[in-house]
Structures are given as structure tokens and as C-alpha cells.
Structure 1
Amino acid sequence: MQSLFSPFPPMNILPFGGEAILYENLFSNEESDTIYEHLVTTIRWKQEPIKMFGKMVMQPRLTACYGERSVAYSGITMEVQHWTEELLAIKGRVEEKAKMLFNSVLLNYYRDGNDSMGWHRDNERELGAQPVIASVSFGATRKFQLRTYKDKSDLVSVGLTPGSLLLMQGESQQVWEHSLPKTKHAGGRVNLTFRSIV
């Protein structure tokens, strides 16, 4: 994959409390379409159970974990798979922008608008005090929301388009929580969150 010049300058979408820098068109539309189809058909997707409000339910999305270290969240430790050639190529493009190396990626496949992600923070101990989370999207554009964790008083919404990168860093995981709400008439979307797990 060759580097692609984006006509849209990166912007921090957070007004305070860390950074969430949006890079639009990190991958071209043609690249994004090809990558999306490849990931949907080749990744070893699973639907994992998760504890919500005291009972176990199936997560409203499919997930997978690839890399050198397994990803753990909400009491789940995911089975880690070896890097694929495609994932390594995506990782290289992301690392070039982030200016750091990642050793794991969590993939989420939102099959349609009924699939979602609830409010949470990526603040697990193994990610460090101020983790860098690099979130890449392919497929349908979906609304991504962030709100202040303690008082819920500030809300930021952005449409994450195919081929975009959202780089969350600094105090973002302490001050803000984020979600991907349900929506009507949405196509499939694959999201990759690259992490450095210690």
C-alpha cells in the first residue's frame, strides 16, 4: 500500500482533555472498498458473550483479535490470531501517522445498523496510563460519539467515513468515554483499533 495524500488536514475533535485526531481519507475509496470486502470474508469473526446489567448477553457485533498480545476488556480475554499480510499493511500505514508501533488490533464487524458499541473507555491497565488507540474504519459511515466520563455534560459526534483514522491519545481515555450507537439503514462496517499492550 502506498501512502496517500489527504486534502483534509488532521483535526482534533476534542475541545479539552486529550486528543482525538481525525485523519480523513488515510485510505482511498477504492482501497477502502477492497479492504472492507477482504476483512469481512477472511477474518475469523466470533460473537462473544458479555455481562450487562448482571446477566450474560451476546455482544451486538462480531469481534476478532490479531497480533502479538491478546486484548482483554469487560472480563473477556480474546483469543489472539497471527497477523495477516493485509493487517500488517494497514498497521504500517497507521503507524506512519501515529509515529509509534502497535502490537495488537481489536476488530469489530458491525453487520448493519442494529449492531453497536455501548459507552466505554479503553483504559485497561495493560494499555498504560495514557494509551494511544488508533481507530481505522472501513465500510459504511457510522456516527461515533464521545462524552465526558464523569458528568456526561459534553458530547462530541463525528461521522467516521471509510478509510478514516481517529487517533485517540493523551488524557482522552480518562476524561472521555465513547460509543457507536445503533442507527437505521446502515450498511456493514469494520473497525480496527490498534493498541500497544504492555
Structure 2
Amino acid sequence: MITADLFASTATCERTALPGGAWDYWPAWLDAGRADRCLAWLLQPGAIAWRRDVIRIQGREIPVPRLTAWYGDAGRDYAYSGIAMQALPWNRGLTTLRAKVEATTGHAFNAVLLNFYRDGRDSVAWHADDEPELGAEPVIASLSFGAERDFLLRHRARRVNGLPLQRLTLAHGSLLLMHGVTQRHWEHCLPKRTGVVGPRVNLTFRFIHPDQHTE
């Protein structure tokens, strides 16, 4: 079980600011031992209600290449890529993680999307977290456990302004905070990496606005 005493240490923040975007990265938000305990709990049978969704592309139904789960305050439902997700009630472990992420970042969150990448064949395509229910400038806190994966960011107008692709290697126990303006100008993805054999779990904490959330 994840408990408050798991978070006794502090970590150094690395800050990046580029045109139309900014993010803070704590590569060792948790040390390896604490991160191991969190990952073990997240993968424990019954701890998280994982689901496998299907999206429709050009008339074909294609399984989403990862497992997902959505937890949040009552009524904070979410929809993306044609997938509707009803918020499951917070459990004790996720509540503890949310409180510690809020304490580190200074931002409040009322929902979390969890992604389970079973190995390097699982991925997420280029996108921005810019759904209406997230508001005009959503702040996203991304917590990673398990196998290290490349996280790529590209500016929407990169061909005009010449901004290079940005690459972060999201470490086990790391925390990434993407500031609000970032989702307007930058897209991100987690590409396939066939050489990666270990699992990875990512938690992206968000704030769903009550006057804009998906019905």
C-alpha cells in the first residue's frame, strides 16, 4: 500500500522554457526503492481497474496499444479520441499520490488518467491534452514508474520557427509538470521501443472544469 511516509525525500527540479511551452522535470522525485513500491502496488491485481479500449479509424476498430484507467472526483468524466471514461472513485493509494504531487507542484488536480504500457510495443501517438473539459490552459502532472521510455515533444509550428524536437527520458519515479500554455502549442508522444521489455505505468493528473466536463 502507498502511504504518506513513502515521500520523505525531496528532489531537484530541472526547468525548460521554450516558445509557447514550459515544463518542470524531477528525474528522481522518488528514489528507486520508493518507486519500486509504488510500481508493485499499481501492478498488484485489483489495485487499479485497467481497461482495454478500441478506437475507430477509417471504419476499422483498432485496440488502443496500452491499458488505461480513469479516476477522479464525482462527475469528472472524460472523453478523448471517441473514448468516454466515467470517473472511478479515488482509492487510498491514488489519493496519497495526488496529495504529494499537489504539494510538489503547487497545483490542484481532481482526476487522473493512468496508462499501463506492458512493454515497448505499447505506445501513445502524437497528441495534445487539449480537450474542452481541461480548460484553455491545462496543467498536466505526469508521474512515471517502471521501464524508462522516450517522451517526445514537438511544436505545432516547428516547420515555421525551426524549433527542434524535444526528448526526455522519463525515469522510474520521475515527475513531469507541463505548464498550461504548452498544450496549446506543443504535441507529445511516447513511441514504440521494441527493445524495451519491462512494464511502465504513467499517471497524468489533471483538473476537469465542472462547467466544461463531458456529460
Match of 1:82 among 64, 86, 89: 89
Report the counterpart of residue 63 of structure 2 in structure 1.
Answer: 58
Q: CA deviation at 1:43?
A: 0.7
1: CA distance, partners of 2:8 / 2:57: 41
Q: For the Cα contact (< 8 Å) 1:71–1:104, is it kept in 2?
A: no
Change (3 A) 1:169 1:86: same
Q: CA deviation at 1:74?
A: 1.2
Report the counterpart of residue 162 of structure 1 in structure 2.
Answer: 172
Report the counterpart of residue 131 of structure 1 in structure 2.
Answer: 138
Instruction: Give the residue type in structure 2 aligned to 1:75.
Output: G
Tell me whether 1:24 sits opposite 2:31 in the alignment: no
Give the secondary structure class of the aligned counterpart of 2:18.
coil
Q: What percentage of aligned pairs have identical amino acids? A: 43
Within 5 Å, which residues of 2 pair with 1:101-180? Answer: 101-151=108-158, 154-180=164-190
Please say which of residues 42-51 and 106-115 is displaced more in the overlay: 42-51
**Residue deviations 1:95-149 (CA, integer Å, cap 9, x gap):** 0122121100000000000000000000011111110000000011100000012
Q: For the Cα contact (< 8 Å) 2:140–2:180, is it kept in 1?
A: no
Report the counterpart of residue 212 of structure 2 in structure 1.
Answer: none
Q: CA deviation at 1:83?
A: 0.5
Instruction: Give the residue type in structure 2 aligned to 1:180.
Output: L
Report the counterpart of residue 213 of structure 2 in structure 1.
Answer: none
Taking only aligned residues, the RMSD between alpha carbons, in angstroms, comes to: 1.4
Give the secondary structure class of the aligned counterpart of 2:150.
strand
Instruction: Give the residue type in structure 2 aligned to 1:140.
Output: A
**Residue deviations 1:164-184 (CA, integer Å, cap 9, x gap):** 111001310011000000002
2: CA distance, partners of 1:181 / 1:113: 8
Give the secondary structure class of the aligned counterpart of 2:43.
helix
1: CA distance, partners of 2:16 / 2:117: 23
Change (3 A) 1:166 1:53: farther
Count of aligned positions: 196
Match of 2:105 among 80, 89, 98: 98
Give the secondary structure class of the aligned counterpart of 1:13.
strand
2: CA distance, partners of 1:92 / 1:3: 13
Tell me whether 1:48 sits opposite 2:53 in the alignment: yes
Q: For the Cα contact (< 8 Å) 1:49–1:57, is it kept in 2?
A: yes
Give the secondary structure class of the aligned counterpart of 1:96.
helix
Give the secondary structure class of the aligned counterpart of 1:80.
coil
| Length-normalised TM-score, structure 1 | 0.93
Q: Give ranges in structure 2 of 5+ residues lacking alignment.
A: 210-215
Q: Give ranges in structure 1 of 5+ residues lacking alignment.
A: none
| Length-normalised TM-score, structure 2 | 0.86
Report the counterpart of residue 201 of structure 2 in structure 1.
Answer: 190
Bigger Rg over Cα: 2
Instruction: Give the residue type in structure 1 aligned to 2:191.
Output: P
Please say which of residues 186-195 and 150-159 is displaced more in the overlay: 150-159
1: CA distance, partners of 2:42 / 2:86: 17
